[in-house]
Structure 1
Amino acid sequence: MSDASPLEDRSSEIDNDNQFIQQLPFLDADDEDFDTVGARISFHENEWYSAHRCWGLMAGTVMRRERRQRAGTKFGNLQGFLDLPLDLILEVFGHLHPLDVYHLSQTAKALRNIVLARNARSLWKTVYERHPDVPQCPPHMSEPAWTTLIFISTVCEVVSSQIKVTITLHILHLSVHRSVESISYVLKNPPEGSDPAPFANDHIVWTFLPFSCQRGDYLPWTVSTEDQEHWYNSRDVEAMANTVARFEQDIVEGRPGAEEDFERFKDSTKEALALWHTDECIIWSNKALEDASDEHEDRSQDILHRMNERLEDLGYSDKDIFEYDLHGVPKTENVRRLTRRAWRAIRPRLEAQVTARHDERLRAEHEAFMAGRKKIIEHAYHEYKKTLQPSTWKQFPHHTELFAYDEFSDLLNLPSDFDLTVPMCSGAFEKLPGYLVQRRERQLLELVGMLPDTDISADDSLATMAHLALCTSIFTCIGCAASGDADRNHAFGWEDVSAHNWCPRDDVSPGRWLFSAVGSRVAASLARFLDLDPRQTSTTDMDQIDARFLCAKCPMEPYRGVYGRKVFTWRECVIHAIQMQSGAAHHTHSWHLLTPVTTAWIKRHEDIHPSPVEKAWSCNHCSLHVGDFVTRKDAQCHVKNIHSVNIAIENIDFFYHNTPTHEPRRPVGLAQHPSAEYRCGRCPDLGFRLFIRERLDQHLLDKHGIENPVDDEDVVKVPHILKTSTPE
């Protein structure tokens, strides 16, 4: 049997020039000149980063470009050169770089036959000796094969197909495409849960094989240190295992000299492994990538600088060019050199983009400039309000509405070289009362025009106000509805509409409010339910009655610790109906009116509204709280300490102002399953505390010692529902 190792077998195959020639990606053209062929095999700059795993190819690209830049001349007809003696041709080629010799083999058949012939081995050895910075060819490989491996690496040796990007494993002398990388390795110590290694860690096979720590997922590549995972070529492992098995079989069968042959094989294989390039190739590749990246960055920066200069020559400012950010243009536009042709191709798109950024910048600067002026007018608006009675603030619009009035619009549109100040706004605010009168009349006409079955003269202000004061005059703010603020977008009559000043509005045209037909219909039914005429009942009348209702269409559910329904005011009933109008159960509406006793009990348990802790209170004697409202307690303390009012009266000394942070009242839940409809007859009043029957019996036993309570004497039943409306 032969004692040749599988490594030597594979090397001898690679060393065969004829086989190597068949493996190279040769061109079929016979007479292509160097520039034409070079253009076909050149590595595109915009593929550098996608090919960062083929570091040897990076190095080849850098060296090739440097030499092409230094050459600067073109070959014409090669026939005159090829007529020279072969020794002289080889002598000339001996002064080239190994990569240049490889490129000669890719240009024309005549040159390929010269540099890849068997008698050209001395040429390859010479060029490698003259370039000691390049990793030298190991003894078991041919120089052409080694050059292809470290510089080109376009052929995947696993699937034998030409692919642009492969991973060059220098220590294993193998080129593998990333898609088949995982099936090309054998791991000596596989992680838990993966396929086991073919041999134990101490098996002799591992000592005869080169291993790599070089993986495509880890950049830069690391050297082959002992404390890292070892990866082996799966083909080498299989071949070496077969070779070792044959030696061991010969020893077992007692073949003469088998043990000596095995020892010689081990010595020769380990000696050959010692000559393989290991960390030297990886370090060289890392340096090549660094040089290639630096060159690519320098070239890109040069292209960017030249593009900036040309755009500046066209009149574009640095700001506009910076806003566009040209860094991605060379790659996306495939610009390797900014020639006149390349500039003509990309200039229209660049100018369009830079112009768009120019317009965006000017628009943003103008918006910022206008925002600053609007802030000044807003500040002047606050100063103006300080001169007015604080209780009138709620009648003034949101500051954004001022910008639609002519005087304030003129202030906004003053020339940019004018510095707008608060005192300059005084003239506009002198005309504000007139604008507000017009605003009031415009809103009244708009609202009345939306009311159904209404024929009121525009001059009849009393009839207009009376009609808008009716409980059926329900309107919805379009702005609040669009923002999703369902609890605060409904206005009950003119008083609510005039005080609705928290919505930004930049125009004064109609269309801010919508009449709520559902709300109006429900308000009318509630008025009739209370034995009132909705055609004459105002919102004030309904507020004074202050009845409490349950929605008969809503199911009972857990709410605030009880199982029952929410208790609503009449306004909350209207809002609830509007919100639930899309539900199948609320196509019609029906209400339970609570009895006076239950209503009184409910009111004792309701939260104070408006909330005293909400920062929406203000002093009515001074302008301290304009735009900066406080809690009720703070407002009372301010009135007492600053204005010497010992007993502050709400709406006279201080008042509540609806703010953008205004929160709706939180309803009380009425227990209905089981129903809490009993009170203790032995406890006078007892805070109108209501019990379910079992708890009341326990209360009478614990507090009054009554074991057998008597109805209507010890136990007083309190009915909750006075009457129920007919569904409408």
Structure 2
Amino acid sequence: MPVTRRQSGKLPVPSRFVRSGEAMERGTDDELLSDLTDIEVSDGDESEDDDYVRAPQTPARKRAKVTSRTKASKKDKAPLSALPTMPIDILFEIFGHLTPRDLISITATNKAFRQLLMTRKAITVWKAVRKQEYDAPDCPPGISEPQWANLLWGGNTCQECGTKNVVRINWGILRRVCTACMKQHLVRTAAFKKNFPDLDVSIMELLPYSNVGGWAHGWATKTRFYWDADIVDMADKLADLERDIHMRKPHARRARKEFKAAKVAQVDGIRKHIVVCEKWMEQVTERRRQDQEILKEERLEAIRSRLVELGHDYRDAKDAVPLYDPRIVAKPLTDRSWKQMRIRFERDATAAKERRFAYELEKIKSARKDIVANIYAEHCKDLTPLQKSYMPFKDDVCQFAGFAELIDADREVAVTEADFADAVKALPDLIAKFSENRKSKLAALVPPRPAPEQAAVGSSKLETSTPAPADLATSVFACTPCYTWRPYPYLQTPACSISHSILSGEQAVLHVTHEPQGPAWDAYLGNVKSLSFSADGSAAAASLVKLLGLDADIAVPRDLDDIDARFACMACGPHVHQGASVRSTMTWRQCIWHFVLHKANTQHSAPDWYRLTDEEAALAREDERPDPAALWTCNRCALNRKRDELVMHVKTFHAVDDPVDGEDLFRNPRENPSQPRNGFLYIDGRPAE
């Protein structure tokens, strides 16, 4: 390897990044790389002779012999062993296709390569590899190409203490240093005289500075920070120039003036170069991110392709290997890594296939259910909205015999509307059977009751037909879905939920099955279809029936509605309303809701009611107001509105002069009858208005 001669015949000056007199003990590699931080690059031999003489080498140390099992053959020699014997122009051509990191590594290989790459001949090589690396900016003033390459690509290691993972470069002082070193070596403008009392502050105009300090976490400030070693080196150089003036050397003053002017211009050039470097760094970060995304996508597609080669469908491979999978890293897929991951990816692909089949089958079933929905809508087209309220839901029909078998048929079976012809013929009978089954399910929830006492022949109890246990006023049920989920604006308070979920009579029968209310219903309630017998509600109803003097074995909700009595809860204390002591009054249904809601309180351990007299009830009704949230339905067009608005709608749009409840408009039979807002029982008499 040729050894290029320095024209000066002197060794390189010490690094300006190290304080004068400080020793660097970082091992052989750091010593080899230290030349990259020299300000000056050796001139080298400018001859055009491509032949060269191998540089003298230091004799290797003797090492203990190690017995080898086999002798190294000629084939075992490194294939690049002939590299040092190549002509310089060929070497430079090869080096020009490397990356800056590779070139820096070559300088650490041996002294001959290092000296070759430190010559001025090699500057074109350094420039070429720099431009190939994300089009890096040119060198800032006062720094050479090798120095610049080492700063950018010499590794994320602190150039002062060797700390690793130092990502940020301090562009102002042209160093890659850690936070600890910045705290130790950076000098603020305000602290300059404290640290260097013997130096003039004008020296700072000649020094590069940074606006990023050791405590700023990478953020720029208005404060200037100077590297202490730069201050010392500059002071030494100025001292040498002053010494030349003192020694009356020719042109010494002009040399000092030119030196200062050059340094001021260099600092100005570095400050302008900072903007270029920061912008380039942002672009590099974005391009690296894009490059990593490309590598991830390539690895992703490589894994999917291998799964397809193993017989998996590409759709399953795509589902099994998403882009956000932590196993998708920015590295090419190798046979070794694929061998390690293959079992897991195949398992994921198999699971994805099962999910796809289940999803496709669900879509097929949904299409079949749509056919049933159209058939059922055609069957019910002549019914009024009130009659439709008593009919099964679409999902209930899909479970009928003849319909369910076709809906659940294999995915390969093509099901059309004509296939449901036999089931459509049996639909009236299936609906009647469903209604009976609905009553049977509700009756099964009622706990056994003691047999009623035998009445005398000819008594009214025998003459009146005994209702079914589930139809009695004392049979109260709780609908779990209606308490758990209520659409806006119904879900306002627990009392509001209770009023919609505690049911009896006809309302309870219609709540045996529920219509799914969309995706949210399935997600949060699992499409619950359940009623339960409310023991607390039944106890409250029984006490009210007894207080009204009715027979609990035959009293039905309509009997209590006809009486329309008002009650007050004696377990609740009185409260003040408009300056008077009052108790809230309630209907019999409101009493049941009230007791179920407050059963947890100790004062509501058992129902305790007071029935208002006719005069007190009349006064309480004067304070009552209609429920503003109660909705009614038009029996001609199924429009839902408040009762007053719906009455006006029927008169205006349907030309009905006197709308009748149950014929022209109705309250949804699935909902409890509309209850008024509470009135008041004045304990000390109603105050005068």
TM-score by length of 2: 0.67
1:567–1:397 distance in 2 versus 1, CA, 3 Å: farther
Q: CA deviation at 1:406?
A: 1.6
CA distance in 2, matches of 1:421, 1:580: 54
CA distance in 1, matches of 2:552, 2:352: 60
Show CA shifts across 1:363-394 (max 9, x none): 33333343343344334333322334654333
- Counterpart residue number, 2:40: none
- Unaligned runs of 5+ residues in structure 2 are 1-12, 33-74, 131-136, 453-461, 487-496, 517-521
Question: Are 1:651 and 2:668 an aligned pair?
Answer: no
CA distance in 2, matches of 1:587, 1:639: 47
| Aligned mate of 1:336, from 331, 335, 339 | 331
Q: What is the percent sequence identity of the aligned residues?
A: 21
Show CA shifts across 1:603-658 (max 9, x none): 233234697x7242314xxxx43xx5556567657776888764443224543324
CA distance in 1, matches of 2:176, 2:247: 41
> Does the CA contact (< 8 Å) of 1:610 and 1:665 recur in 2?
no
SS class of match (1:156): coil
> Does the CA contact (< 8 Å) of 2:512 and 2:529 recur in 1?
no
- Counterpart residue number, 2:157: 155
CA distance in 1, matches of 2:176, 2:673: 71
Show CA shifts across 1:377-433 (max 9, x none): 334333322334654333223322222212221342356577767786565344233
SS class of match (2:323): helix
Q: CA deviation at 1:238?
A: 9.4
Q: CA deviation at 1:590?
A: 1.7
Question: Are 1:668 and 2:678 an aligned pair?
Answer: yes
- Counterpart residue number, 1:578: 596
CA distance in 1, matches of 2:257, 2:424: 103
Instruction: For 1:557-572, list aligned pairs within 5 A.
Output: 564-572=582-590
| Aligned mate of 1:604, from 585, 598, 622 | 622
- Counterpart residue number, 2:498: 486
Q: Which amino acid aligns with 1:310?
A: R
Q: Which amino acid aligns with 2:163?
A: Q
Question: Are 1:235 and 2:211 an aligned pair?
Answer: no
Q: CA deviation at 1:600?
A: 1.2
The structure with higher relative contact order (CA 8 Å, sep 6+) is 1
1:647–1:89 distance in 2 versus 1, CA, 3 Å: closer
Q: Which amino acid aligns with 1:499?
A: L
CA distance in 1, matches of 2:213, 2:356: 47
1:229–1:634 distance in 2 versus 1, CA, 3 Å: closer
Question: Are 1:548 and 2:566 an aligned pair?
Answer: yes
- Counterpart residue number, 2:473: 471
- Counterpart residue number, 1:526: 544
SS class of match (1:327): coil
Instruction: For 1:196-211, list aligned pairs within 5 A.
Output: 204=202, 206-211=204-209
SS class of match (2:126): coil
Q: Which amino acid aligns with 1:210?
A: P
For the aligned residue pairs, the C-alpha RMSD in angstroms reads 5.3
CA distance in 1, matches of 2:399, 2:437: 14
SS class of match (1:332): coil
CA distance in 1, matches of 2:451, 2:181: 86
Q: Which amino acid aligns with 1:677?
A: G
| Aligned mate of 1:320, from 316, 319, 326 | 316
Question: Are 1:362 and 2:357 an aligned pair?
Answer: yes
CA distance in 1, matches of 2:318, 2:214: 36
1:452–1:295 distance in 2 versus 1, CA, 3 Å: closer
- Counterpart residue number, 2:493: none
Instruction: For 1:178-217, list aligned pairs within 5 A.
Output: 204=202, 206-212=204-210
> Does the CA contact (< 8 Å) of 2:166 and 2:176 recur in 1?
no
Show CA shifts across 1:477-502 (max 9, x none): 24334437432222223x22233377
Instruction: For 1:16-165, list aligned pairs within 5 A.
Output: 19=24, 22=27, 24=29, 76-77=77-78, 96=95, 99-106=101-108, 111-115=109-113, 120=115, 123-133=118-128, 134=130, 146-157=148-159, 160-165=161-166
| Aligned mate of 2:368, from 364, 369, 373 | 373
CA distance in 2, matches of 1:186, 1:659: 81
Q: CA deviation at 1:294?
A: 5.6
CA distance in 1, matches of 2:583, 2:29: 86
| Aligned mate of 2:263, from 256, 272, 292 | 272
Q: CA deviation at 1:522?
A: 1.4
- Counterpart residue number, 2:169: 168
Higher alpha-carbon deviation: 552-561 or 392-401: 552-561
Show CA shifts across 1:184-236 (max 9, x none): 767779xxxxxxx999xx97455233234789999xx99xxxxx966644534
- Counterpart residue number, 1:401: 396
CA distance in 1, matches of 2:570, 2:448: 30
Q: CA deviation at 1:175?
A: 0.8
Q: Which amino acid aligns with 1:547?
A: A
> Does the CA contact (< 8 Å) of 1:12 and 1:140 recur in 2?
no
- Counterpart residue number, 2:48: none
SS class of match (2:402): helix
Q: Which amino acid aligns with 1:173?
A: L
Q: CA deviation at 1:569?
A: 0.8
CA distance in 2, matches of 1:378, 1:466: 33
CA distance in 1, matches of 2:24, 2:18: 7
Instruction: For 1:442-453, list aligned pairs within 5 A.
Output: 442-453=437-448
> Does the CA contact (< 8 Å) of 2:316 and 2:353 recur in 1?
yes
- Counterpart residue number, 1:616: 633
| Aligned mate of 1:432, from 427, 439, 442 | 427
CA distance in 2, matches of 1:529, 1:302: 81
Show CA shifts across 1:535-560 (max 9, x none): 34332222222111122223445789
1:398–1:463 distance in 2 versus 1, CA, 3 Å: farther
Q: CA deviation at 1:261?
A: 9.9
Show CA shifts across 1:673-716 (max 9, x none): xx6723xxxxxxxxxxxxx2xxx3xx6xxxxxxxxxxxxxxxxx
Instruction: For 1:577-726, list aligned pairs within 5 A.
Output: 577-608=595-626, 614-619=631-636, 624-625=637-638, 628-629=639-640, 632=643, 646-658=657-669, 665-670=675-680, 677-678=685-686, 692=687, 696=688
> Does the CA contact (< 8 Å) of 2:126 and 2:145 recur in 1?
no
> Does the CA contact (< 8 Å) of 2:651 and 2:658 recur in 1?
yes
Instruction: For 1:407-426, list aligned pairs within 5 A.
Output: 407-413=402-408
1:551–1:583 distance in 2 versus 1, CA, 3 Å: same
Question: Are 1:514 and 2:514 an aligned pair?
Answer: no
- Unaligned runs of 5+ residues in structure 1 are 1-7, 28-73, 190-196, 223-227, 679-691, 700-728
CA distance in 2, matches of 1:384, 1:79: 88
> Does the CA contact (< 8 Å) of 1:185 and 1:231 recur in 2?
no
Q: Which amino acid aligns with 2:170?
A: L
> Does the CA contact (< 8 Å) of 1:171 and 1:281 recur in 2?
no
CA distance in 1, matches of 2:673, 2:188: 67
SS class of match (2:106): helix
Q: CA deviation at 1:303?
A: 3.3
CA distance in 1, matches of 2:283, 2:173: 20
> Does the CA contact (< 8 Å) of 1:90 and 1:123 recur in 2?
no
SS class of match (1:514): strand
- Counterpart residue number, 1:686: none
SS class of match (1:491): strand
Q: CA deviation at 1:561?
A: 10
> Does the CA contact (< 8 Å) of 1:211 and 1:230 recur in 2?
no
> Does the CA contact (< 8 Å) of 1:156 and 1:166 recur in 2?
no
> Does the CA contact (< 8 Å) of 1:167 and 1:216 recur in 2?
no
